[in-house]
């Protein structure tokens, strides 16, 4: 962006979470080039109030009415409109003054907001991968037809987006997503059954929220990313690969038809893809530390262990089946991860629950948002039944 360019108005959904907080950190580093006009924060209304005062936003949204009343009192005199619930999140996503909506909410709750943003013609900076997993083809169609756009914020998909812009589609043989392997790389399934929530929440290279950190431990996060890549880039499952790369420095690979390979490298810092999405199509200097390859020393790559980490196979299954299978996988996983964090199921049991629910589901076309959300509700109920089944 040039100094004369008007500030880009941004709404941050999920601003009190890990990615949302990092997004606000990026905004601070960008000076007046980005202006925050709206924020949502689930149930953390005190944090949201502090953010709203700092950025002087036009509107905020929280999950329930009681927190909205507390937030309204906390922001008395600020001129900030206070919204709440699913409708509040949708209104904020389509906020009239916003150019970009950065969706950093976790889970399926972010899907209706993503739809609202695209229907309003916004640029959707998407960190909420579950929305794409649940309703990917329709979201891509909405972006094309409604005058909006989708910019991926996941580090791997942001990297792929950047690389694929420079290559004619007919020259791409396949893409490869990298995965750190999580904190339990090399463990057996028996050893994984003894892993605690505290163990799983210590990721070796990334600073993330609780749910995505557990997903990284089971490799379900990579399964979700396989599905996300399927719809974002229009590539079939057999042209999407995964490789384990513990250093998390190479974020993706693009293999070309002549056998050459393009790699996108950078520090394992979510602020980098966030900044790219907020400044796109330009690049700006930012707060992320430069990559020092000499100090890094070496890069490792190996094949994933599909037997010990079966979530990957489920990701490929959804990428092939499409329809309501993505909503079912995503919803069942949310329930199972919450159960693991509460000590109700083992780490391998998380994926067992998801697979059980998927096996009980008859995949149907994702005919509309209502059908997808119905599949989401069914999968949540079925996952709870699986958890309590003797």
Residues 161, 273 contacting (CB under 8 angstroms)? no
Domains along the sequence of the chain with CATH = 8-153 (3.40.50.720), 157-269+305-321 (no CATH)
| Per-residue pLDDT tens listing for the chain (390 residues) | 444 568 999 999 999 999 999 999 999 999 889 999 999 998 999 999 999 999 999 999 999 999 999 999 999 999 999 999 999 999 999 999 999 999 999 899 999 999 999 999 999 999 999 999 999 999 999 999 989 999 999 999 999 999 999 999 999 999 999 999 988 999 999 999 999 999 998 766 655 778 989 999 999 999 999 999 999 999 999 999 999 999 999 999 999 999 999 999 999 999 999 999 999 999 999 889 999 989 988 999 999 999 999 999 999 999 999 999 999 999 999 999 999 999 999 999 999 999 999 999 999 999 999 999 999 999 999 999 999 987
Residues 347, 337 contacting (CB under 8 angstroms)? no
Angle at 374 between CA 106 and CA 330, to 5 degrees: 35
In whole angstroms, give the CA distance from residue 127 to residue 282.
19
Find all residues with CB under 8 Å of 351, minimum gap 6, and list them: 218, 220, 309, 310, 311, 314, 336
> In the prediction, which pLDDT does 1 show?
46
In whole angstroms, give the CA distance from residue 316 to residue 322.
10
In whole angstroms, give the CA distance from residue 260 to residue 274.
28
> In the prediction, which pLDDT does 205 show?
62
Q: For residue range 321-375, list pLDDT tens digits in order.
A: 999 999 999 999 999 999 999 999 999 999 999 999 999 999 999 999 999 999 9
**H-only helix segments in the chain:** 18-29, 45-55, 65-74, 85-93, 111-119, 129-146, 155-164, 189-192, 197-200, 210-218, 220-233, 271-279, 293-296, 311-321, 325-341, 347-359, 369-388
> In the prediction, which pLDDT does 57 show?
98
In whole angstroms, give the CA distance from residue 147 to residue 259.
36
Query: Furthest-apart CA pair in the chain: how many Å?
Result: 65
Helix (H) or strand (E) holding 239: none
């Amino acid at each position: 962006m040039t100094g004369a360019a008007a500030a880009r108005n941004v709404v941050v959904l999920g601003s009190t979470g890990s990615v949302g907080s990092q997004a606000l950190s990026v905004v601070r580093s960008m000076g007046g080039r980005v202006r925050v006009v709206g924020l949502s924060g689930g149930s953390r209304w005190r944090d949201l109030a502090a953010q709203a005062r700092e950025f002087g936003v036009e509107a905020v949204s929280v999950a329930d009415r009681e927190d909205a009343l507390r937030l309204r009192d906390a922001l008395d005199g600020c001129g900030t409109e206070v919204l709440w619930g699913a409708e509040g999140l949708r209104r904020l996503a389509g906020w009239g003054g916003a150019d970009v909506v950065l969706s950093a909410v976790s889970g399926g709750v972010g899907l209706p907001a993503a739809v609202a943003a695209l229907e309003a013609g916004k640029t959707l900076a998407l960190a909420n991968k579950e929305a794409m997993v649940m309703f990917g083809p329709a979201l891509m169609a909405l972006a094309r037809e409604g005058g909006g756009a989708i910019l991926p914020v996941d580090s791997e998909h942001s990297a792929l987006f950047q690389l694929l812009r420079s290559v004619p589609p007919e020259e791409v043989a396949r893409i490869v997503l990298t995965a750190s392997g999580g904190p339990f790389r090399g463990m057996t399934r028996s050893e994984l059954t003894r892993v605690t929530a505290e163990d799983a929440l210590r990721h070796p290279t990334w600073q993330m929220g609780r749910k995505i950190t557990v997903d990284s431990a089971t490799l379900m996060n990579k399964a979700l990313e396989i599905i996300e890549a399927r719809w974002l880039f229009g590539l079939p499952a057999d042209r999407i690969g995964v490789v384990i790369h513990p250093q998390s420095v190479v974020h993706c690979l693009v293999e070309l038809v002549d056998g050459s390979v393009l790699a996108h490298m950078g520090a394992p810092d979510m602020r980098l893809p966030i900044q790219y999405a907020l400044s796109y199509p330009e690049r700006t200097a930012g707060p992320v530390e430069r990559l020092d390859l000499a100090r890094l020393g070496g890069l490792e790559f190996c094949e994933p262990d599909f037997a010990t980490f079966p979530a990957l196979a489920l990701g490929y299954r959804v990428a092939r089946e499409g329809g309501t299978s993505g909503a079912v996988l995503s919803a069942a996983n949310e329930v199972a991860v919450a159960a693991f964090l509460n000590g109700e199921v083992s780490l391998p049991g998380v994926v067992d629950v998801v697979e059980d629910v998927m096996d009980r589901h008859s995949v149907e076309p994702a005919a509309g948002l209502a059908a997808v959300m119905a599949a989401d509700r069914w999968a949540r109920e079925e996952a709870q039944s699986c958890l309590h089944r003797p």
